Structure 1
Amino acid sequence: MSERSLRGTQLGSRSLESEAGVEPAPRQLIEYVCEDGHRFTVPFSVEADIPATWDSGTHGIGERVGIEKPEEEEGKHVRTHWDMLLERRSFEELEVLLDERLKIRRGELPPQV
């Protein structure tokens, strides 16, 4: 079997296909600028949705040149445990419950089941 192997061709690491006749997809170069003035370009497909910001990798986040600054998207309000609790009970009810639980912890009232 070892007589029939192709020695020295590195078949596992190199492709024997050529790039003849292969045409890459049409691209456009989009320019971004960082806060420190660093300018860089990123190639995108002509059909791609172009983001307003892009991370340069070394200088931070760059904003796209030639467009207005994107509006800040209003994030979804995250409901906390306290918010959900206030939806079910009033603040006065919570004060009464807290006082009752503190008296139980202090031993002033017997524990409720």
Structure 2
Amino acid sequence: MAERALRGARLGAQSFEDERGVEMAPRQEVEYRLPDGRTFTVTMSDEAEIPAEWEDPKTGQMGRRVGADAPTEDADEKPVRTHWDMLLERRSVEELEDLLSERLEMLRGGEIGPPHLHRRKKKTA
């Protein structure tokens, strides 16, 4: 049985290629500082857009890039518009009040809406 045993490399990420003639991509070391003052470095490509914050792989805390400016609010960012804001762009408050009273009359008269909300008309004999 020993003669028939498979021979070869162990399983895993083992490469038999050597690194001669291989040119690595240009890289840079970026330093980040944690709120408690400790620093850590991250290796990134020279072409990468460097983020202002990065999570420390050891502690999980967010670190700010050393030498980066303080975070600024984006001037291009639009304020959040609510449904009410969008409605007011199309109609005035007076128009909305008129529309509401008209719809309430229709609802109470039984013209629109679910039947269980309609007021029953009194039978005249």
For the criterion TM > 0.5, the same-fold answer is yes
Structure 1 unaligned segments of length 5 or more: list them: 1-5
By relative contact order (CA 8 Å, sep 6+), the higher-ranking structure is 1
Matched, 1:93 2:92: no
Alpha-carbon distance, 1:12 to partner: 7.1
Task: Return the letter of the residue paired with 2:67.
Answer: G
Aligned to 2:123: none
Aligned to 1:3: none
How many angstroms apart in 2 are the aligned matches of 1:76 and 1:10?
58
Quick one: percent identity of the two aligned structures?
51
How many angstroms apart in 2 are the aligned matches of 1:99 and 1:8?
87
Structure-to-structure mapping, 1:1-113, within 5 angstroms: 7-10=6-9, 13=12, 14-57=14-57, 58-74=59-75, 75-105=77-107, 107=108, 109-111=109-111
Alpha-carbon distance, 1:33 to partner: 0.8
Alpha-carbon distance, 1:21 to partner: 2.6
Task: Return the letter of the residue paired with 1:76.
Answer: K
Alpha-carbon distance, 1:11 to partner: 8.3
> Contact 1:27 / 1:43 at 8 angstroms: preserved in 2?
yes
RMSD, matched Cα: 2.6
SS at match of 1:102: helix
Q: Which string of whole-angstrom CA distances, capped at 9 and with x for unpartnered residues, describes residues 20-63 of structure 1?
A: 33232232211111223231111122333322221224342211
SS at match of 2:7: coil
How many angstroms apart in 1 are the aligned matches of 2:10 and 2:40?
38
TM-score by length of 1: 0.70
